[in-house]
Each structure stands twice: as structure tokens, then as C-alpha cells.
Amino acid sequence: MRKIFILFLGLSILNACNTRQQAPSTQAEESLSADAERFLLQDAQDVFKPLPDVAENKDNPVTPEKVLLGKALYHDARLSKTGNNSCNSCHNLNTFGVDRNPTSTGDAGKNGNRNSPTVLNAALHTVQFWDGRAKDVEEQAGMPILNPIEMAIPSKDFLVKRLKEIKEYRELFAKAFPGEKDPLNYSNIQKAIAAFERTLLTPSPFDEYLKGNTNALTYKQKIGLREFLNAGCQQCHSGVTLGGNTLQKFAVFGNYWDYTNSKTQDKGRFEQTKNNADEYVFKSCGLRNCAETYPYFHDGSVADLKEAVRIMAKAQLNKELSQEKIDAITEFLKSLTGKVPADVATVPEWVVTVKKTQG
């Protein structure tokens, strides 16, 4: 039995049920004891993992040529029918891979019914989209382009023909997919965009902490990490991306719309499978950069991170967290804010980009 002694006005806590607990954060000296520091780090390392350098896919090796091509495609509004949208319109790399709107406006001016999640670190998720209908970013990359509300390209051949008229794309595809007789095809469009997205990883202070640098987190963030673990948040938000690896019912306790005041009731994965067991099932979102990727939930119905924490604790764990604990967990979540790779938002002059007002 390991004992964690955390100094809070002289209080030391030993959990009789072989779990580690944290006393209220009321001590004046903001530091953990050596034992508390060591055990907290070990608990975190048991549940979470640092980011890799690249989200590799053996079926689509990431090469500099593919990434260069993929970045151009990602920012090019010619991937939408009338040129009003690019991938970056809804997943803006200047604002942590989101547009910060509840739902995004498509090529024809209509909004979708689900929030556009961040593209950052998404290549490490086990499935894509809120309902998990795509297995990876390669499959996902081709779907919004053909979606009539999103980018509205009428067919794969339509886009391929459009891009083949552009000299720069003919050259880039030949370099990215050497040896192929006809490299500019729809499958390779998907692979190139996905290869670019596989480089969009954002290491944060929490990664340094997981590697053993306990000074990478502030005292308040460490208290928040302990509260996060004590509450059981890691049941859905674990691994390298702190989520994005399971499909979960929302809400487990009660109706999610009663918590979020959502205007519509989205049945989630059920819309794909028609299986009653999938009603209100959604992908658990990855929490990296969540302090910057508001608004939250599948419909963007909640803009405040602290409110989202409160709702999740009640809806998923049936726990009423105190404001002190909500504040602490929110401080921990801020440690997940990373740095967007340099130059990913810069594109060649020949690429047709669009500018949208952020919400």
C-alpha cells in the first residue's frame, strides 16, 4: 500500500480503499510532497502517453512530398464546388484547428448540424467524425469534399478533372506519388491531405510532464490532474490524445439536452447504424487544446470550458463537482494546450484560399 502525503494545512490523506485522494487545495505553500509528486506522475503515466513526432500510417507513409501537397490541398478553396470553402475554413489552423462556431457554414451557405472538431492530433484518434463513421483520416479526408452541405463537389471525377488543369498540382502529385501512371486521382487526394494532417501534432507542457519533468505543470495544474483522475474522467479521456479512442453514450445519466440546452436532439451514431444501442452515442473527444477549441460537444452548444466540465461530471459520472474542483480540472486542461507546428497555415500564392470571419 502506497501512501500519498499531500500537504494542505497539515492534512495528510491515506485512502482506505487503495485509491489515491487529494485534499482541498487550501494550503499556503503551493507544493506537493515528494511522495505525492512521485505517485501523481506514476498515475498519470499509467493512463496517458506523450505525443509521438508523427502519427504514422503504414498504409500511407508520411513523406515531405505528400505533406507539401497535402498542405496545399488543405488550404485550397478549389476543393469546394463554388470556391467558398477549404478544409481550413472549418478547421482553421490559426485558431487551433477549429472555426469556433457551434456549427460550420458550408460551400452553399448552409450550416451543418454538428460542430467541426479540431484537426490537431486527430490522426491519432481510433475513429473519425462524431459518430465514428470513418476509420482514419485518410477515409475522413474524402467525405466532406463530396458532402452536399459541406464542400459540395458533385463527384470524385469532377474534382480530379479540376485539379488536373492546374500545372502545380500535376507536378506535386507526380513527386508525392512517384512511379504511378496516373498519380492525380481521388484516393491520392485523400492520402495527401491525411499525410499533412498526420503532422499536425501539438506537444504541450503535459507531454514534458509525462516524460518526467514535474516542473512542466504548475501546482494548480497538478491539483487539477489529481481531481481529474479522482473524478474518473480518464474512463473516457485517456491515452495519447486524452480521448478520441472510444464511443460513449451522452448522457449516461439523464438527457444531454437537459444539461446543454441543445436546440435539437441528435441521436449520434444511431443515424449511421440504426441500432438502438447506438442512440446518443458519440466519439469521446480528445482533450488536447480543449481550452482553445470552444464551443464544446457535438453541437457546439456550450461555450464555457468550466461549464463543460461541470456537465460532463454530472452527465457521465453522476457527480456534482464543487466549483473548486471544476476550477482545478480546468487549470489542468490548460496544460494540454500545445504549439501548432510552424508554417502549417502558410500556403503558396497559387493556392486559392478563402478568408472567413471567426465566430
Please identify every residue annotated as catalytic.
Answer: 150
Per-residue cell: 139: 477515409
Report the C-alpha gap between 266 and 257 in whole angstroms: 9
Report the C-alpha gap between 240 and 220 in whole angstroms: 22
Nearest by Cα to 299 from 331, 259, 329: 259
Nearest by Cα to 7 from 20, 21, 25: 25
Per-residue cell: 104: 460550420
Say if CB 191 and CB 60 are below 8 A apart. Answer: yes
Q: Which residue has the cell 500556403?
A: 347
C-beta atoms surrounding 270 within 10 Å: 16
Report the C-alpha gap between 168 and 351 in whole angstroms: 9
Q: Using alpha carbons, list the distances in angstroms from residue 213 to 32, 205, 208.
A: 14, 9, 6
C-beta atoms surrounding 174 within 10 Å: 15
* List of residues 6+ apart from 248 with CB closer than 8 A: 236, 281, 282, 283, 284, 316
DSSP-assigned beta bridge partners for residue 302: 296
What DSSP assignment string belongs to 21-84?
----S--SS----HHHHHHHHHHHHHHB----SS---TTS---HHHHHHHHHHHH-GGGSSSSS
C-beta atoms surrounding 117 within 10 Å: 23
Say if CB 91 and CB 348 are below 8 A apart. Answer: no
First to last CA, the chain: 51
